[in-house]
Amino acid sequence: MWLLVTGSPRLLLLLLAYITASTVQCRNINLILPNVPDVLHPPIPSEAGISSDDVDGLQSMENIDPEVRPGLFQGDMALNNEIFDYWRVGLRWDIFPEKLWLNRTVPYLISPLYETEHRILIYQAIRTINFLTCVKFVPWTGKEKDYLMIWPVKYPSGCWSYVGRYGGPQIVSLQPPDDTGANCLGTDGRPIHELLHALGIFHEQSRADRDKFVKINFENVIPQYRSNFDKQSLKNTTYQFEYDYNSVMHYGKNFFSIGKGKQTIVPKIEGQKIGQRKMMSKTDCLKINDLYGCLGTPPNYNYKYYTLCNYMGI
Ligand SMILES: [Zn+2]
Instruction: Write the secondary structure of 124-145 as one string of H (helix), E (strand) and C (coil).
Output: HHHHHHHHHCCCEEEECCCCCC
| Binding residue ranges for Zn(2+) | 193, 197, 203
Contact status, residue 255 vs residue 229, Cβ threshold 8 Å: no
Determine the Cα–Cα distance for residues 9 and 44; give it in Å rounded to an integer. 9
Bridge-partner residues for 220, per DSSP?
none
3-state secondary structure of 90: strand
CA 289–ligand 1 middle distance (angstroms): 19
C-alpha dihedral, 128 to 130 to 134 to 136, nearest 10°: 150
CA 21–ligand 1 middle distance (angstroms): 31
pLDDT at res. 36: 39
Determine the Cα–Cα distance for residues 75 and 277; give it in Å rounded to an integer. 16
CA distances for 266 relative to 64, 68, 181, 211, 254, angstroms: 19, 18, 26, 10, 9
Which residue in 195, 206, 85, 91 sits closest to 149, CA to CA?
A: 195
Q: What's this model's pTM, rounded to 2 decimal places?
A: 0.76
CA 162–ligand 1 middle distance (angstroms): 10
Sign of CA dihedral 104, 250, 187, 4: positive
CB atoms within 10 A of CB 299: 5
Determine the Cα–Cα distance for residues 64 and 85; give it in Å rounded to an integer. 29
Contact status, residue 162 vs residue 87, Cβ threshold 8 Å: no
Burial of 233: CB neighbours in 10 Å, binned 0-12, 13-18, 19+? exposed
CA 242–ligand 1 middle distance (angstroms): 19
CA 299–ligand 1 middle distance (angstroms): 34
| Binding residue ranges | 193, 197, 203
CA 253–ligand 1 middle distance (angstroms): 14
Backbone φ and ψ of 297, nearest 5°: -125, 150
pLDDT at res. 37: 36
Catalytic-role residue among 117, 194, 204, 270: 194
Contact status, residue 51 vs residue 136, Cβ threshold 8 Å: no
pLDDT at res. 96: 67
Active site residue 194: yes
Taken in order of first residue, the domains within the chain and their CATH numbers are: 10-199 (3.40.390), 208-310 (3.40.390.10)
3-state secondary structure of 304: helix
Averages of pLDDT over runs of 10 residues in the chain (314 residues) are 34 39 49 42 36 38 56 59 45 68 94 91 95 95 90 79 83 88 90 92 86 95 82 60 92 86 94 93 93 86 91 79
